[in-house]
């Protein structure tokens, strides 16, 4: 439920309304706009409907939020949210590109990759240290050692970093090394992990589960926001369908649909979305054309030697091509890169 306050409300009346809502056991989220203050009330909507909040003198109107995801919905916040991380903004006019290897493999290799991506103007380095692999025999990542490598390389090239956290007990550790926490597709409905990253103040990239609907995806984001962390970026990375030619079926529809339903930024992962490097560039063009706020791309200077996902990783030459082509599409849709 959203309570819109009158423009001339005084502080005392405002406090009275907030106290009343709190006394009923609801949480509030106050957003002070230029003209009006809006109070978002979080909790079971039915219980609140019987309360005549319109009687308070400072209340202009009470609007129920019909969507099951409340804080995430456009009804709750009509303006696009922008996630700011140091000097980088995600969800604003500029397209955010996050690139790097699937997994952090060594200091030398990450340094070489970071050097290439930063030459193209990309500011966010991706790389997994804790890898959720389908097989227990596959490379599981370097763990904390990988995070140390990432932190060092990011400092050398003045990059921001994103890495996946797979266990709620590791959230604080991972958050102490990187700028953005990634919740992978396999953990989209790991509610304890969502609550834990929700308590952290770090920005979170939440990837869509491979068998999840858009509604379930938004409900998972709601878990993070409901714990107080509004710095959430959604990521479409493909879902399972009957199609076997591609690793996943990238649901391009999700981009405009989510833009309509939610104020949160949405980016696309064309690497896991397709599973083959040759399809990454065309699908990236499509993502930006559809309104994506960014891309999460796997890049490796030696994809043939990569310890994971080499087949879907762009080499340096193709990565440069991706940036050029995405730039042309970004300009066509009034965005920048």
N-terminal to C-terminal alpha carbon distance within the chain: 37
Which range, of 17-25, 178-186, 222-230, 239-247, touches ligand PEP by CB under 6 A? Answer: 178-186
Which range, of 104-112, 137-145, 182-190, 282-290, touches ligand PEP by CB under 6 A? Answer: 182-190
Tokens of 279: 């399809």
Interface with Mn ion includes 309 (CB under 5 A)? yes
At its nearest, how many Å lie between ligand PEP and the CB of residue 164? 6
Which positions from 73 through 132 interact with ligand PEP, judged by CB under 6 A? Answer: 102, 128, 132
Q: Say which entry of ligand PEP, Mn ion, none residue 300 contacts (CB below 5 to 8 A, set by partner kind).
A: none
Degrees, nearest 5: CA angle 258-264-268 = 60
Task: State how far the Cα of 135 lies from the Cα of 218, in Å rounded to an integer.
Answer: 29
At its nearest, how many Å lie between Mn ion and the CB of residue 282? 19
Beta strands in the chain (DSSP E): 2-5, 27-32, 37-42, 59-63, 83-85, 88-90, 96-100, 124-126, 160-164, 180-183, 204-207, 232-236, 266-268, 294-298
Instruction: Say if residues 118 and 154 touch (Cβ distance below 8 Å).
Output: no
Degrees, nearest 5: CA angle 6-9-10 = 170
At its nearest, how many Å lie between ligand PEP and the CB of residue 195? 19
Which range, of 68-76, 96-104, 207-215, 242-250, touches Mn ion by CB under 5 A? Answer: 96-104
At its nearest, how many Å lie between ligand PEP and the CB of residue 275? 10
Judged by beta carbon, residue 42 or residue 97, the one nearer ligand PEP is 97
Instruction: Say if residues 181 and 174 touch (Cβ distance below 8 Å).
Output: yes
At its nearest, how many Å lie between ligand PEP and the CB of residue 166? 9
Q: Say which entry of Mn ion, ligand PEP, none residue 184 contacts (CB below 5 to 8 A, set by partner kind).
A: ligand PEP
Tokens of 62: 């009470």
Tokens of 172: 């604080």
Please identify the residue of the shown chain whose CB is closest to the bound Mn ion.
Answer: 102
Please identify the residue of the shown chain whose CB is closest to the bound ligand PEP.
Answer: 184
Interface with ligand PEP includes 185 (CB under 6 A)? yes
Residue 115: phi and psi, rounded to 5, are -65, -45
Judged by beta carbon, residue 29 or residue 284, the one nearer Mn ion is 284
Among the listed residues 202, 272, 285, 300, the single contact to ligand PEP using CB under 6 A = 272
Give how many residues touch Mn ion by CB under 5 A: 2
Judged by beta carbon, residue 236 or residue 309, the one nearer Mn ion is 309
Task: State how far the Cα of 125 lies from the Cα of 103, in Å rounded to an integer.
Answer: 11
Q: Say which entry of ligand PEP, Mn ion, none residue 75 contacts (CB below 5 to 8 A, set by partner kind).
A: none
Task: State how far the Cα of 220 lies from the Cα of 106, in Å rounded to an integer.
Answer: 33
Pairing of strands 96-100, 124-126: parallel
Residues that bind ligand PEP (CB under 6 A): 102, 128, 132, 184-186, 207, 237, 269, 272
Residues that bind Mn ion (CB under 5 A): 102, 309
């Amino acid at each position: 439920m959203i309570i819109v306050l009158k423009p001339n409300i005084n502080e005392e009346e405002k406090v009275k309304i907030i106290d009343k809502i709190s006394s009923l056991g609801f949480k509030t989220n106050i957003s002070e706009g230029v003209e009006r203050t809006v109070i978002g009330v979080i909790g079971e909507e039915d219980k609140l409907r019987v309360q005549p909040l319109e009687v308070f003198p400072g209340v202009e109107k009470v609007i129920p939020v019909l969507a099951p995801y409340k804080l995430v919905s456009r009804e709750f916040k009509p303006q696009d949210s922008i996630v700011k991380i140091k000097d980088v903004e995600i969800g604003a006019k500029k397209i955010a590109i996050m690139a790097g290897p699937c997994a952090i493999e060594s200091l030398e290799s990450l340094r070489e990759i970071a050097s290439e991506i930063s030459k193209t103007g990309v500011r966010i380095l991706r790389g997994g240290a804790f890898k959720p692999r389908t097989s227990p025999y596959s490379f599981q990542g370097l763990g904390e050692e990988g995070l140390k490598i990432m932190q060092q390389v990011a400092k050398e090239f003045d990059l921001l970093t994103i890495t996946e956290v797979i266990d709620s007990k590791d959230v604080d550790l991972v958050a102490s090394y990187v700028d953005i926490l990634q919740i992978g597709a396999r953990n989209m409905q790991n509610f304890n992990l969502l609550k834990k990253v929700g308590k952290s103040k770090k920005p979170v990239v939440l990837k869509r589960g491979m068998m999840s609907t858009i509604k379930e995806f938004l409900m998972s984001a709601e878990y993070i926001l409901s714990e107080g962390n509004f710095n959430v970026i959604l990521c479409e990375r493909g879902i399972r369908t009957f199609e076997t030619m591609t690793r996943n079926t990238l649901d391009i529809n999700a981009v405009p649909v989510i833009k309509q339903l939610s104020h949160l930024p949405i980016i696309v992962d064309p690497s896991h979305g397709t599973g083959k490097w040759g399809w990454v560039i065309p699908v990236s063009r499509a993502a930006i054309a559809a309104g994506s706020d960014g891309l999460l791309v796997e890049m490796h200077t030696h994809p043939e030697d990569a310890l994971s996902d080499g087949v879907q990783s762009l080499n340096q030459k193709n990565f440069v091509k991706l940036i050029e082509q995405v730039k042309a599409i970004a300009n066509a849709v009034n965005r920048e890169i």
